[in-house]
Amino acid sequence: MERLRSSPLHANISTALDKHLESIHVVQARRKDEIVNASSQQRHGPPRCQDERVVLALAVALRALCVATRKVRTVLWCAFQMTLPK
């Protein structure tokens, strides 16, 4: 879009994209933690409290990803509107 405009876009656009990517990485890390916890729980027995913390951390990360996704969709729509010819 920057090439179409021949000028850089607003800094908030790149910030929103960076936060979205960071949220994706956090969700991936929490999901890996959940998988590791689930596989080790099958071997050792039921420490339920730890399992609940891992699932809660994943839920928090998914909520942050949802918020970041909504923001980045709005930002990209605005950037697209700015690049359209008048």
Residue 75 in any domain: the answer is yes
Q: What is the pLDDT of residues 22-71, one digit of tens each?
A: 999 999 999 999 888 877 766 655 555 667 889 899 999 999 999 999 99
Identify residue 5 by its one-letter amino acid code.
R
Q: In the chain, how many domains are there?
A: 1
The sign of the CA dihedral 71, 75, 76, 78 is positive
CA distance 30 to 82: 36
Prediction pTM value: 0.80
Identify which of 36, 43, 75 has the alpha carbon closest to the alpha carbon of residue 58.
Answer: 36
Residue range(s) defining the domain that contains residue 33? 7-83
The answer as to whether 19 is a domain residue is yes
Q: Give CA–CA dist 83/86, Å, rounded.
A: 9
Task: Let me know if residue 2 belongs to a domain.
Answer: no
Q: Name the residue among 86, 85, 82, 84 with its Cα closest to residue 12.
A: 82
